[in-house]
């Protein structure tokens, strides 16, 4: 099977949920052949894939990078010109059985038009709702596209991305969401027949036993992006200090093309020398040391890191967001203070039997429903159904 996979930024250079999903997807479908079309701003395009955080898998036949469009007051004109430029830059002679896009933004726009123009089935896996992220304060998208700073321009950008979402939903032969909580928002913009296939973890990450120290190791993992809200982690650290509760603290961050926020995080960390700061390194070894993972995201779909933490018997804690609920950890409503959360963490840690019981209850769900092997078996079956009666198209 020949597939065109259209992504925005991230893989293979930066960590994060979408990067990990793309890598595992490519890894678990070795019988498929992929052309990866990446939408990325200039700073991404100059990077060498062979020196990336993730390796390029052997089933990638071609890796093509193009720039995102420039938005003006005439969105349709801008997108039409961008699409025409992309068609000219795209090498001829590619044969595809299916087009797969990972969001409804620029990738969704391209996928919808390529699918429509060439009669190729389109599969959408929506990891996050772009317009909602912009509405909630995102300063940049994963492809590097900078969100305008004025409120009027932001409102226009939200409407632009809603329009792109409607287009992508309309032309998708199958829509998959990684997050149950996003389905109502998708339905409002015309998404039909939405199938839920969650995020996952490698089976090899699962551990049966965990040796814990006297003090809990409390960590944070994610892209240094506004939507992940890394600065809030220091509020937890400060509250532990104020309550006289001792713990070890680690932040594991990766670049997200948001230099102003990154500068603020680095400056803030100087005031908290007890926090170990680690940049741009794989998460697994550090998650093995965590007892608790703090989740601080403003907006989230299904945080992959909460699944990864549970695989290593670390308990996710934080405000309820997206699919992060009590099913996956210790979640709190927005009216609960950080002080209340820290006190609850301390109570649990003081009772090792209760702590381990709570963690083990959450881990059961991960083992049953959230391993990559099971997840990509579902994708394999889904794509085979989609193309069974389709001919391969060349363009």
pLDDT one-digit tens code per residue, 21-38: 999 999 999 999 999 999
Give me the residue spans of the domains in the chain: 2-200+371-394, 203-369
* Residues with Cβ within 8 Å of residue 192, at least 6 apart in sequence: 169, 175
Q: Residue 148's pLDDT is what? A: 60
pLDDT one-digit tens code per residue, 247-275: 999 999 988 878 999 999 999 999 999 99
Q: Residue 66's pLDDT is what? A: 86
* Residues with Cβ within 8 Å of residue 207, at least 6 apart in sequence: 288, 311, 312, 313
Q: Residue 395's pLDDT is what? A: 46
Q: What angle do CA 108, 111, 113 make, to 5 degrees?
A: 110
Q: Residue 357's pLDDT is what? A: 97
Find out whether 289 and 273 touch, Cβ atoms under 8 Å.
no
Could you check whether 2-200+371-394 and 203-369 share the same CATH topology? Answer: yes
SS3 24: helix
Taking the C-alpha atoms of residue 101 and residue 124, their distance in angstroms, rounded to an integer, is 5
Which of the following CATH numbers is that of domain 203-369: 3.40.50.2000, 2.60.120.10, 3.40.50.20, 1.10.10.60? 3.40.50.2000
The answer as to CATH 3.40.50.2000 being correct for domain 2-200+371-394 is yes
Find out whether 15 and 110 touch, Cβ atoms under 8 Å.
no
Taking the C-alpha atoms of residue 352 and residue 201, their distance in angstroms, rounded to an integer, is 26
Mark the ranges of the chain whose per-residue pLDDT is less than 50.
143, 390-395
């Amino acid at each position: 099977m020949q597939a065109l996979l259209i992504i925005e930024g991230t893989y293979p250079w930066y960590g994060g949920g979408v990067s990990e999903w793309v890598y595992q997807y490519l890894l678990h479908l070795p019988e498929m052949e992929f052309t990866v079309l990446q939408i990325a701003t200039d700073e991404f395009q100059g990077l060498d894939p062979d020196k990336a955080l993730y390796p390029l898998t052997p089933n990638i036949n071609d890796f093509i990078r193009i720039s995102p469009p420039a938005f003006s007051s005439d969105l349709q004109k801008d997108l039409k010109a961008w699409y025409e430029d992309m068609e000219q830059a795209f090498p001829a002679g590619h044969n595809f059985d299916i087009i797969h896009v990972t969001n409804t933004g620029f990738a969704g726009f391209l996928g919808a038009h390529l699918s429509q123009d060439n009669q190729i089935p389109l599969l959408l896996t929506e990891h996050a709702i772009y317009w909602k992220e912009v509405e909630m304060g995102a300063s940049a998208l994963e492809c590097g596209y900078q969100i305008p700073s004025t409120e009027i321009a932001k409102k226009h950008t939200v409407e632009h991305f809603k329009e792109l979402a409607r287009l992508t939903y309309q032309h998708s032969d199958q829509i998959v969401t990684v997050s149950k909580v996003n389905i109502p928002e998708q339905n409002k913009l015309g998404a039909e027949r939405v199938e839920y296939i969650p995020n996952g973890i490698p089976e090899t990450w699962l551990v049966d036993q965990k040796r814990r120290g006297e003090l809990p190791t409390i960590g944070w993992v994610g892209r240094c992006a506004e939507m992940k809200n890394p600065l809030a982690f220091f509020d937890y650290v400060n509250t532990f200090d104020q309550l006289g509760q001792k713990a070890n603290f680690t932040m594991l961050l990766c670049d997200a093309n948001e230099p102003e926020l990154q500068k603020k995080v680095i400056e803030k960390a100087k005031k908290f020398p007890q926090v170990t700061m680690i940049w741009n390194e794989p998460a697994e070894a550090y998650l093995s040391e965590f007892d608790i993972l703090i989740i601080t995201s403003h907006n989230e779909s299904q945080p992959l890191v909460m699944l990864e933490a549970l695989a290593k018997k670390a308990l996710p804690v934080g405000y309820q967001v997206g699919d992060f609920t009590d099913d996956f950890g210790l979640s709190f409503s927005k009216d609960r203070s950080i002080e209340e959360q820290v006190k609850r963490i301390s109570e649990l840690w003081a009772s090792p039997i209760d702590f381990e019981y709570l963690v083990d209850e959450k881990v059961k769900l991960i083992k049953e429903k959230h391993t990559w092997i099971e997840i990509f078996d579902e994708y394999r079956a889904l794509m085979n159904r989609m193309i069974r009666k389709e001919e391969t198209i060349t363009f």
